[in-house]
Each structure stands twice: as structure tokens, then as C-alpha cells.
């Protein structure tokens, strides 16, 4: 790998690779894993999947990819023989070939096994490949002329000629630059050069802090009761209760505050609406105990892909026999809303998208998108008397599916309620959904058992146990009207 220092860390990475290698090669899936890892770290990733949509210009996308300020190349044998891949690489080369240092700064490559570029004779095989492509075009010109050729055909011929002229010089550059030994080493290298998009921790929870302080300012009776009990999370300034600076950034230890509230909240007396405000404030303080870094990373992907939560089986149990749905709290954090105690403790089972039918894995790939859409319409939208969901197609399928997406988005952003895509087959297809441009803006939550809850919040079980005590008291004391 090049030892040149990166002038400044980057937060946007373009990725150039061979589709065939990614699907069928010895390192199939490497690009997907690479991109997912960078996205999880908060880096914006530009690749064909997710960027190209029906009607978009493939040539324009390839040109823009090649002109990117930071391009990661998966350099395989198939890549070096692909006209589209070579167009992306050659565009990058043309932008800075007079400045080798600038090219090294902008273009990072993993020379994959099978790309024979380190010895002269094998490397010249790629020159031979593009010379033969030129010869084939030349034979067509000699035999038929160029009358009737489209501008695209002329442009492709010119590109092939340019590839033949520059391919060996380009590959010599990569041959002289130390390449990562594996896909993991490539990811490690690029991760060191990229900056996360993490906001200032205070900004991550800015909206919820503003909402909590508005609630405190709007209900003086509740504020004056909860304020002294919620120290040090709350402090008084000029007669008004505010969120303390240490709690505005998330990740604070909320157990001490919840313990104080659990011991004294039964002394409160007020209307149902005042109890509701009290519950909202306590739920907000609980959310502020979550890791700002974790929340920010998840927000970075939630608008464009399936999000996987450490689900812990969906429920967390306490010694009292009470159980909690931690996903409701996580959804509140991601949506900048205070945690609803009713959702956490009374609705232990969140809304679920049923598992895919057993026959699904056998469906031809061309029909998979339609079948996934129909499945979501069937399980989220519910049955309709107007049409047979099993036969929905064309514009009707698009219309009904768009309504499902709106329902899922609303559940997340406004109701603060996650929708779980449950079942083994659904969990497997979550990755596929991320790779399908027509499906990847679904907001769904695939159950993952292996997540480390300590990355999300300190003393989660203790905090939820105290919150359960508070919820029980609120239920028993809050007037019904």
C-alpha cells in the first residue's frame, strides 16, 4: 500500500468493481461486505447499487464514478477485461495521469488474486486483450465502414483504442504500489483513511433535548416536581429546568436518576395530561442514556437500507417477571423521540412482517423483486377487496408497494414504533434488499441475536428494570380521564 499521507480524511467513497466477479468470482460478495462496513462507520458509499435507477444514464454514472475524489478499485482479472470497468478506471487515470502522487491520493486499489499485473509478460496479456478488441473493431470498419454507426458505437471504439494505449502504463502504476493482501486488509486500510460522518454528540440528540425542554417549560407543575428528582440530568437556570450539558451528548449513566424517580414518583398528583408529560420526560431521559455514536451510525443507514438491531430475542426479562421490548426504545432514539413506556412494557411484541414463504428461495431472480413487494403488501398493508395481491403487477404493484413504504416510514418516524422483519428466510433476504435499488429504501428491522447491547447503553437491564417500576407506578396513579 502507498505510504503517502492522506492530506485530509474523507467521508465519501466511490467503489469500482466487476459485477461478474462480485457475483461469481472467488471473492464473491467482497464488495458488498466492504461497502456495508464503511456505511456502518458513517462513510457515504457511492456504487452502482443504490445510485442507478431505471432511466438513469449508465455512461454518465461511470464517468462520474471515475472522476470521484476518492475511488476504491477492486482490481480483478475480469475487471481489466471489462469495457465498463476500464472506462471508470481510465476516467480516473485521465484526470490525474500527469501527477502520479495525485492519482495515488485519489485511487486506492486491491489487486485481487488472478489479476496478473506484477510480471511483465502476464501484464502485457491485458494489452494484448485490448489490442485484439481494437483489431475486431478495425475489421468491422474495413468490412462495412462506419456508415450508420451510432455516436455510442463511435465512442466505444475510441475508448477501446485509448484502453490499448494506456492499459500497461496504468497497470505498471498499480504493480509498483503495495497492494493489500486480502479484502479484510483493504477494508482496514480504507477505514484508516476515511472519516466517520458522526456528528458532534450534542447534535445527535439536539431535537429530543429541545422537545424535552419545551415540555418542561410548558408544564411548570411537572417540571418543578421532576426537576429536583432528576438531578444531575436536569438543572435549574433562571427559574427554568434544562437538560444538563453532560446529558445532552447521550451515553450518560441514567440509572441513578431513574432510581431516584422510582422511589419518589408516587408522590406526584395531577391530571392525566400532567402524568403523560411526566412519562414523556422520563422516557426522554432514558433515551439520552443511549450511545450517541451508535445512534448516529444507525441513522446514517436507516433512510436507505434495512437496519439490523441487536434484538436480544426481542424481549428483555427482569427478576420481577416483567419483560420489555428494547426495540421500542431504540426506535425512539433513532427517530429523535422520547421512549413510550406503554410501547416498551405493554406491547412487548412489535409489529412484524411475516417470514417469507418456504418456496421463496426457489423463485427465479427476475421475479424476486415482485414477490418481495407482494409479500410486504400482503403482510403490512393487509388484504384488499379491490385486487388480488398475488397477481398484482405493473403500475398497480408499484402503487400498493409505495403505500407500504409510507406505512413503514410513518411507523418509524412518527409512531416511534419499529417494524420487525421476522423469520430466518426474511433475515437472509435483508441483505438482498439492501442490494436491490427498488427495495432498499424500505425501513425494516431484521432480528439479529448477536448484537452487543453494551455498545448501545450502559447497564441496560438495570435501567429498563427501574423504568418498569416507574411505569407500574404511573399506570396505577394516572387518572383514566
Rg (CA), the chain: 28
What pLDDT, on a 0 to 100 scale, did the predictor assign at position 266?
A: 93
What pLDDT, on a 0 to 100 scale, did the predictor assign at position 462?
A: 87
Q: How many CB atoms lie within 10 A of CB 455?
A: 12
Contacts 24+ apart (CB under 8 A), 219-223: 219/274, 219/277, 221/270, 221/274, 222/270, 222/274, 222/277, 222/278, 222/281
Q: What is the DSSP string of 254-309?
A: -HHHHHHHHHHGGG----HHHHHHHHHHHHHHHHTTB-HHHHHHHHHHHTTS-EEE
- d(C-alpha 71, C-alpha 208), whole Å: 37
- d(C-alpha 75, C-alpha 66), whole Å: 14
Q: Which residues of 391-401 are buried (b: 16+ CB within 10 A; e: fewer)?
A: ebeeeebeebb
| Cβ contact 356:429 at 8 Å | yes
Whether residue 180 is contained in a domain is answered as: yes
What pLDDT, on a 0 to 100 scale, did the predictor assign at position 124?
A: 94
Using alpha carbons only, what angle is made at residue 100 by residues 110 and 19, rounded to the nearest 5 degrees? Answer: 30
Quick one: cell of 286? 432514558
> Cα-Cα-Cα-Cα dihedral of 55, 56, 58, 63, to 10°?
160
pLDDT tens digits along 122-149: 999 999 999 999 999 999 888 888 888 8
What pLDDT, on a 0 to 100 scale, did the predictor assign at position 52?
A: 44
Quick one: cell of 344? 416498551
Whether residue 356 is contained in a domain is answered as: no
Whether residue 36 is contained in a domain is answered as: yes
| Cβ contact 356:430 at 8 Å | no
What pLDDT, on a 0 to 100 scale, did the predictor assign at position 350?
A: 63
What pLDDT, on a 0 to 100 scale, did the predictor assign at position 3?
A: 43
Whether residue 125 is contained in a domain is answered as: yes
Element (H, E) at 223: helix 220-229
What pLDDT, on a 0 to 100 scale, did the predictor assign at position 5?
A: 41
Whether residue 370 is contained in a domain is answered as: no
Quick one: cell of 115? 489479476
> Cα-Cα-Cα-Cα dihedral of 410, 412, 418, 421, to 10°?
70
Q: How many domains does the chain have?
A: 1
* Strand intervals (E) in 180-269: 234-237, 240-243
Q: Return the biggest CA–CA distance within the chain.
A: 96
* CATH number of the domain bearing residue 71: 3.40.50.10140
Q: Which residues of the chain have pLDDT under 50?
A: 1-8, 52-53, 55-56, 197, 303-305, 312, 448-450
Whether residue 132 is contained in a domain is answered as: yes
What pLDDT, on a 0 to 100 scale, did the predictor assign at position 252?
A: 86
What pLDDT, on a 0 to 100 scale, did the predictor assign at position 98?
A: 62
Q: How many CB atoms lie within 10 A of CB 335?
A: 21
Parent domain of 164: 12-193
pLDDT tens digits along 405-443: 778 777 766 666 667 766 777 766 666 665 565 665 555
SS3 156: helix
Quick one: cell of 36? 456495508
Whether residue 313 is contained in a domain is answered as: no
What pLDDT, on a 0 to 100 scale, did the predictor assign at position 2?
A: 42
Whether residue 161 is contained in a domain is answered as: yes
CA end-to-end span of the chain: 69
Amino acid at each position: 500500500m502507498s505510504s503517502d499521507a492522506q492530506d485530509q480524511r474523507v467521508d465519501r467513497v466511490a467503489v469500482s468493481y466487476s459485477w461478474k466477479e462480485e457475483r461469481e468470482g472467488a471473492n464473491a460478495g467482497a464488495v458488498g461486505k466492504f461497502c456495508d462496513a464503511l456505511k456502518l462507520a458513517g462513510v457515504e458509499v457511492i456504487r452502482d447499487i443504490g445510485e442507478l435507477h431505471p432511466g438513469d444514464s449508465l455512461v454518465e454514472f461511470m464517468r462520474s464514478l471515475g472522476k470521484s475524489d476518492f475511488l476504491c478499485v477492486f482490481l480483478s482479472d475480469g475487471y481489466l477485461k471489462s469495457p465498463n470497468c476500464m472506462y471508470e478506471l481510465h476516467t480516473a487515470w485521465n484526470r490525474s495521469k500527469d501527477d502520479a502522487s495525485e492519482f495515488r491520493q485519489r485511487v486506492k486499489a486491491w489487486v485481487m488474486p488472478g489479476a496478473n499485473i506484477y510480471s511483465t509478460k502476464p501484464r502485457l496479456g491485458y494489452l494484448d486483450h485490448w489490442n485484439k478488441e481494437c483489431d475486431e473493431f478495425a475489421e468491422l470498419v474495413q468490412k462495412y465502414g462506419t456508415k450508420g454507426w451510432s455516436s455510442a458505437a463511435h465512442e466505444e471504439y475510441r475508448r477501446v483504442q485509448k484502453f490499448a494505449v494506456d492499459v500497461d502504463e496504468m497497470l505498471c502504476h498499480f504493480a509498483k504500489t503495495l497492494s493489500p493482501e486480502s479484502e479484510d486488509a483493504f477494508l482496514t486500510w480504507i477505514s484508516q483513511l476515511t472519516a466517520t460522518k458522526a456528528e458532534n454528540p450534542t447534535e445527535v440528540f439536539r431535537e429530543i433535548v429541545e422537545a424535552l425542554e419545551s415540555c418542561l417549560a410548558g408544564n411548570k407543575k411537572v417540571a418543578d416536581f421532576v426537576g429536583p428528582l432528576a438531578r444531575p440530568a436536569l438543572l435549574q437556570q433562571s427559574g427554568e429546568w434544562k437538560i444538563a450539558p453532560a446529558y445532552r451528548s447521550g451515553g450518560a449513566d441514567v440509572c441513578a436518576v431513574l432510581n431516584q424517580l422510582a422511589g419518589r414518583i408516587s408522590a406526584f398528583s395531577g391530571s392525566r395530561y400532567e402524568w403523560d408529560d411526566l412519562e414523556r420526560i422520563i422516557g426522554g431521559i432514558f433515551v439520552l442514556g443511549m450511545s450517541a455514536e451508535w445512534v448516529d451510525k444507525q441513522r446514517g443507514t436507516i433512510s436507505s437500507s434495512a437496519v439490523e438491531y441487536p434484538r436480544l430475542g426481542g424481549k428483555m426479562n427482569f427478576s420481577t417477571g416483567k419483560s420489555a421490548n428494547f426495540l421500542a426504545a431504540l426506535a425512539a432514539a433513532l427517530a429523535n423521540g422520547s421512549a413510550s413506556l406503554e410501547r416498551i412494557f405493554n406491547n412487548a411484541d412489535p409489529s412484524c412482517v411475516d417470514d417469507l414463504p418456504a418456496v421463496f428461495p426457489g423463485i427465479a431472480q427476475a421475479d424476486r423483486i415482485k414477490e418481495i413487494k407482494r409479500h410486504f403488501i400482503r403482510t403490512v398493508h393487509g388484504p384488499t377487496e379491490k385486487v388480488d395481491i398475488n397477481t398484482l403487477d405493473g403500475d398497480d404493484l408499484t402503487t400498493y408497494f409505495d403505500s407500504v413504504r409510507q406505512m413503514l416510514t410513518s411507523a418509524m418516524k412518527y409512531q416511534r414504533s419499529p417494524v420487525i422483519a421476522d423469520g430466518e428466510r426474511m433475515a437472509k433476504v435483508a441483505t438482498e434488499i439492501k442490494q436491490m435499488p427498488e427495495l432498499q429504501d424500505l425501513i425494516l428491522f431484521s432480528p439479529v441475536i448477536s448484537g452487543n447491547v453494551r455498545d448501545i447503553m450502559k447497564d441496560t437491564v438495570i435501567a429498563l428494570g427501574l423504568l418498569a417500576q416507574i411505569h407500574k407506578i404511573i399506570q396505577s396513579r394516572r387518572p383514566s380521564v
